[in-house]
Amino acid sequence: MYNFRFSIPTTIYFGKGQISHLSELAKYGSKALLVYGGGSIKRNGIYDTAMKILGDAGVRVTELSGVEPNPRIETVRKGVQLCKTQSIDMVLAIGGGSTIDCAKVVAAGALYEGDAWDLVIDPVKITKALPIFSVLTLSATGSEMDAFAVISDMTKNEKWGTAGDALKPTMSVLDPTYTFSVSKKQTAAGTADMMSHTFESYFTKEPGCDVQARFAEGLLKTMIKYGPIALAEPDNYDARANLMWAASHAINGLIADGSKPAWCVHPMEHELSAFYDITHGEGLAILTPVWMEFVLKKDPSTAVNFAVYGRNVWGISGDDDMEIAEEAIDRTRKFFTESMGLPANLRAVGIHSDEHFKVMAEKATKGSAGFFVPLTSADVVEIYKAAF
Amino acid sequence: MYNFRFSIPTTIYFGKGQISHLSELAKYGSKALLVYGGGSIKRNGIYDTAMKILGDAGVRVTELSGVEPNPRIETVRKGVQLCKTQSIDMVLAIGGGSTIDCAKVVAAGALYEGDAWDLVIDPVKITKALPIFSVLTLSATGSEMDAFAVISDMTKNEKWGTAGDALKPTMSVLDPTYTFSVSKKQTAAGTADMMSHTFESYFTKEPGCDVQARFAEGLLKTMIKYGPIALAEPDNYDARANLMWAASHAINGLIADGSKPAWCVHPMEHELSAFYDITHGEGLAILTPVWMEFVLKKDPSTAVNFAVYGRNVWGISGDDDMEIAEEAIDRTRKFFTESMGLPANLRAVGIHSDEHFKVMAEKATKGSAGFFVPLTSADVVEIYKAAF
């Protein structure tokens, strides 16, 4: 187990009706920037509820709406401009991970003199931010409780993740009933996203990270149990609650700190989204089993890791690590495609040419070469091709 | 899953050499009260290291030493007096749970006008505290990362747990090498304590707490794996590190929030310690299997809970819940007595009479009647007798 610093400063209010705690924003100032997406929060009433609570608490609101599914730097810049010109005290995101990611970089950009894109490509420049709050409406990215944000500049086909302690929200409201209306497609993609976050930390060669590994297995078992239930019964509270809480813990440091993961599948998927604007979780579901097969073949010593995964998460019994490893990967693929209805390959999400694979692979390996099994850009091209 | 508020504000520096971060105390003021126990930190060098780091950082130190294994209110009062008369800015505990518990109530007492015992018997009175820091030297209570403190008034045979957000440490240093010198007896007792914390949250009838339950199972598996290794190889880093990190998570809210546990075995043990001053973890190891047997008999519907425990933690297979439940309890007892060398009954820790059982049981059920299976004071007398 590596040395680490553990810090989860975000207070979570979890459960039905917890949005009432937005009144606590008044402790942080009198002017909030409200960040949201396409307006679904107006249709389902969350917007009105939040505005009433904030109004009663004496918090005035400036709005930044229309945040995109892969949030754009142009929207971030617009938010930063609002903060700077209107003396905003805090930023409140209501939405999913994209909205929260956008709000985070807006909050940091508000206290930064240069262009906000600097903060995306150079996390070191993130030293402070306005207080960040969120009301979560989609279980997936874990942005509600972590240090990360992913922002795109589609004019350059760039999509980068940034991070900073200052980006950790001060408080997030997690009300599982707000996810009852999430579509099957987004529910499935969100589940693939949280599972991928877990895999990125879980597959490590660092020995002695039992606490982290057993936690990761607990999260995976919970996601595998409740993902299909949430698809079949969108208003099943236990399913939505467990997916929501599991997603937050998948990336808040709990399973990563000490095991020193170097993200691998996420950087590969970011290139898919940057070039083709596909749904992030769908790209992850396509790439993950292919990546598993590739690294198992490239480094057969990883059979022991995949066998532990097979035994502890899928309950596969037997003595042959390689056999269990292969079955575990097979079950992972079938879970995504058969149980969750996710696309099986890149053609299924509209990618019909391999023309960008080489440049995408080069960028993906720049983002992270992978620590579990290091990958060259030629390896990544092979993975893209196998996923085609 | 119940509604809950989740908050773990404590920053953890985990790993070898992390004590260097004590320099950060300078951000919180210039005068610290250093709280420690019997002086082992002077023999093993931690005292000198800490004093050097604090001195270099410009933090002056006042000392409160001699904190007892079951810390006494008299010592707390002495610390409060030092804080009030010497304008102390913060409290730093170096030691195990008893030392940290004492430091916590000192820190709250320093900002409280009345007698510190008020804060022990009425947690509502804990509204603020001086910043609390700790360097942990014993893996057991989880006090380094939680809201709790247990203080005794032996003149009244009283031992009570109190709690408050203000008691959560600001920062704790967890260096597993500091536990290499912990005796076999204390290593075993500490492991029993962290397992009991986990059980208190894990055994609940609240449905749909999968994240919490799977995390709890991960902690228990880690403790069961590494407890005996730490006994056999006291300087095994992975064993000490995993026990240390598991103990912190067993009681920081991670597995309790949402499952609404009402502590049961701990209040029973507190009476044993209050009347006989025995080692807390030994009392827990004695009472836990007896409590499990008692509640399984009183409410056979709990067989399903104990069977889940048996399957997921001990890997017991089979279809008959009651059989698996009974075997799981049997394995728990054998783990404590055979694998960890803990005492099997109350006589083994010097309790040779049942004269106080009735009054102890009345106090224990006042502390908590138990939520998983409610217990009367007559039930608790039976448990004490069965443990005799």
pLDDT at residue A368 tops 90: no
- B235 interface with A at CB cutoff 8 Å: no
| Structure token digits, residue B211 | 């994240």
CB-CB under 8 Å, B18 with A211: no
Smallest Cβ distance to A246: which of B3, B16, B211? Answer: B211
Q: Which of B2, B210, B249 to mutate to test the interface with A (most CBs of A within 10 A)?
A: B210
Structure tokens at A280: 């992030």
Inter-chain residue contact B1 with A249, CB threshold 8 Å: no
Note whether B211 contacts A219, CB cutoff 8 Å: yes
In chain A, the residue whose alpha carbon lies closest to the alpha carbon of B250 is A211
Q: Give the model's pLDDT for residue B70.
A: 86
Q: What's the whole-number mean pLDDT along residues A42-57?
A: 97
Determine the Cα–Cα distance for residues B26 and B46; give it in Å rounded to an integer: 19
Domain annotation for chain A: domains and CATH numbers: 11-178 (3.40.50.1970), 184-386 (1.20.1090.10)
B207 touches chain A (CB under 8 A): yes
Phi, psi of B151 (to 5 degrees): -130, 145
Question: For residue A355, is pLDDT > 70?
Answer: yes
Contact B194, B223 (CB under 8 A): yes
For chain B, say whether A388 makes contact (Cβ under 8 Å): no
Tokens matching residue A175: 């009300």
The pLDDT tens digits for A202-211 are 999 999 999 9
Predicted confidence at residue A274, as pLDDT, reads 86
DSSP lists the bridge partners of residue B11 as B171
Whether the CB-CB separation of B211 and A198 falls below 8 Å is answered with no
Mean pLDDT of A233-246: 98
pLDDT digit string (tens) for chain B, length 388 residues: 999 999 999 999 999 999 999 999 999 999 999 999 988 999 999 999 999 999 999 999 999 999 998 899 999 999 999 999 999 999 999 999 999 999 999 999 999 999 999 999 999 999 999 999 999 999 999 999 999 999 999 898 888 899 999 999 999 999 999 999 999 999 999 999 999 999 999 999 999 999 999 999 999 999 999 999 999 999 999 999 999 999 999 999 999 999 978 788 999 998 998 899 899 999 999 999 999 999 999 999 999 999 999 999 999 999 999 999 999 999 999 999 999 999 999 999 999 999 999 999 999 988 665 678 999 999 999 999 999 9
How far apart, in whole angstroms, are the C-alpha atoms of residue A226 and residue A59?
Answer: 37
What confidence tier does A284 reach under pLDDT thresholds 50, 70, 90? very high
Q: How confident is the model at residue A370 (pLDDT cuts 50, 70, 90)?
A: low
User: Which residue blocks in chain B are alpha helix, DSSP H?
Assistant: 40-43, 46-56, 73-85, 97-109, 117-121, 184-202, 210-232, 237-249, 265-276, 280-298, 303-314, 321-334, 357-367, 377-387
What ipTM describes this predicted complex? 0.96
CB of B11 within 8 Å of a chain A CB? The answer is yes
Predicted confidence at residue A6, as pLDDT, reads 97
User: What is the arrangement of strands in the sheet containing B132-136, beginning at the earlier edge strand?
Assistant: A60-64, A31-35, A90-95, A132-136, A171-174, A4-14, B4-14, B171-174, B132-136, B90-95, B31-35, B60-64
What mean pLDDT is predicted for residues A50-75? 96
Q: Does A131 touch chain B (CB under 8 A)?
A: no
Mean pLDDT computed over every residue of chain A: 96
- Output the CA torsion A18→A22→A24→A25 (10° steps): 150
Q: What is the pTM of this model?
A: 0.97
Q: What is the pLDDT of residues A253-276, one digit of tens each?
A: 999 999 978 788 999 998 998 899
In angstroms, the CA B208 to CA A66 distance is: 35
Q: Which of A3, A11, A215 lies at the smallest CB-CB distance from B15?
A: A3
Q: Which amino acid is at A245?
A: W
Collect all residues of chain B within an 8 Å Cβ-Cβ radius of residue A258: 14-15, 241, 245
